[in-house]
Amino acid sequence: MFERRLYHHVDWGLLIAVLTLCAIGLAQIYSATGGWTTTVETQIYGILLGMVALLVCLSVDYRSLADKSHLIYLAIIALLVYVLFFGAVRGGSRRWIDLGPFNLQPSEFVKAALALALAKFFGESRRGALTRVDLFVTAALTAVPLVMIAQQPDLGTAVTLIPVVFAIVYVAGMPVRLLGVLALIALLAAPVLWRFALEDYQRERIVTFLDPAQDARGAGYQQIQARITVGSGGLWGKGFTEGTQGQLRFLPVAHNDFIFSVLAEEQGFAGVIVTLGLYLFVILRSLESARLAKDRLGAYLVLGVLASFTFQVIYNITMSAGLAPVKGLTLPLMSYGGSSMIATLAGFGLILNVRMRRFTN
């Protein structure tokens, strides 16, 4: 299955950049949690398992995987259903399947599964333009897991599904006009959503974002602290494990949602530029893979996987600088989180897979 010549087509640059980001994340988790903790160990296991998942996703031809995409999709939906009824509850959310030493978070894998399903659906479409049926099927495929994840509730992860759809639909030939209409509808629906769809705490977060000083002790606290954390880093940073904001817990969940703030504090603007550069490299290199893909299926698959990754990276980093409302969105590759790490690395396995097999039949 894994032919020798394929080995030469592995995108080593991308792989190294991805693993470097994992290493940087690991180091900052070490710093933020105050040394060699179980958190660090768990993250290492996450990375190792993620690399296994990456290898698995790399080995199997993505076309074979796409052929099984409906099964994979259904399996994931089944897991979500299971979570909805039997999942482990933590912090008021029912998101996990308790596997003893490990807690699996199926919603993290939905992105890749959805990307695979949509890529398959559009990649094999013979029609030149998108039909209403296509859009309806797409909407249905997305809405089912999205609603289920939102029920957990985990609005952050649910929202990451939307870029997947849009990226694929956009590149698959959705008329720009239709995008404009959708944007208009979203704009008009915003007040209604504000009124009925959002929980109080969510509304509060958005209000707080617009004026953090209004509630400096409560919800605005994290945002102000994030800016202080980043701003106090300066050009060269305070030095590894020397950050005061993260170390002294002025910034909550520093090893998780705010890992990038900790990096900015300890490594300064220099560290930020290097890390941003790595992420940008990873994204552009992946887009390159989409362009080089042998077929539309491969291009759509890369795009689908990449879309949620890119969305999360940009949103999380913006939030880390205190420039976006605080949302429970992790930074892929760097934040603490086993399921997220495994799912992300598995996703990169798919991206590498597409590029590697661009000359095969």
Distance CA 89, CA 95 (A): 7
Rounded CA gap, 69 and 115, in Å? 9
102 or 295: CB nearest another protein: 295
User: Tokens 């661009």 appear where?
Assistant: 358
Report the candidate in 240, 299, 274, 234 with the shortest Cα–Cα distance to residue 66.
Answer: 299
Who's near 159: CB < 8 A, 6+ residues apart? none
Among 272, 301, 334, 346, binds another protein (CB under 8 A): 272
Q: Between the CA of residue 301 and those of 43, 278, 297, what are the distances in Å?
A: 27, 22, 6
Which of 1, 140, 213, 235 is close enough to bind another protein by CB under 8 A? Answer: 235
What is the token pair recorded at 224? 């102000």
Asked whether position 290 contacts another protein by CB under 8 A, the answer is yes
The answer to whether 289 touches 9, Cβ cutoff 8 Å, is no
- Contact indicator for 156, 329 with CB cutoff of 8 Å: yes
Can you tell me which of 5, 92, 248, 361 binds another protein, judged by CB under 8 A? 248
269 lines the binding site for another protein (CB under 8 A): yes
Residues that bind another protein (rule: CB under 8 A) add up to a total of: 44
Rule CB under 8 A: choose which of 244, 253, 327, 328 binds another protein.
244
Q: Contact region for another protein (CB under 8 A) — 17-25, 84-92, 314-322, 332-340?
A: 314-322
Say whether residue 52 binds another protein (CB under 8 A).
no
Please, what sign has the CA dihedral across residues 341, 346, 351, 356?
A: positive
What residues from 155 to 194 belong to the interface with another protein (CB under 8 A)? 167, 170-171, 173
Q: Of 25, 71, 72, nearest to 317 (Cα)?
A: 25
Cβ proximity to another protein: between 76 and 254 the closer is 254
Is the CB of 152 or the CB of 247 nearer to another protein?
247
- The residue (of 22 and 306) whose beta carbon lies closer to another protein is 306
Q: Closest approach of Cβ 230 to another protein, in Å?
A: 5
DSSP H or E run through 75:
helix 69-86
Instruction: Decide: is 231 part of the binding site for another protein (CB under 8 A).
Output: yes
Query: Site residues for another protein, window 188-217 (CB under 8 A)?
Result: 217
Q: Does 37 bind another protein (CB under 8 A)?
A: no
- Beta-ladder partners of 98: 103
Q: Helices 259-292 and 338-356: crossing angle, nearest 10°?
A: 20
| Binding site residues, another protein, CB under 8 A | 128, 167, 170-171, 173, 217, 225, 227-235, 244-245, 248-250, 264, 268-269, 272-273, 276, 279-280, 283-284, 287, 290-291, 296, 299, 303, 310, 314, 317-318, 321-323
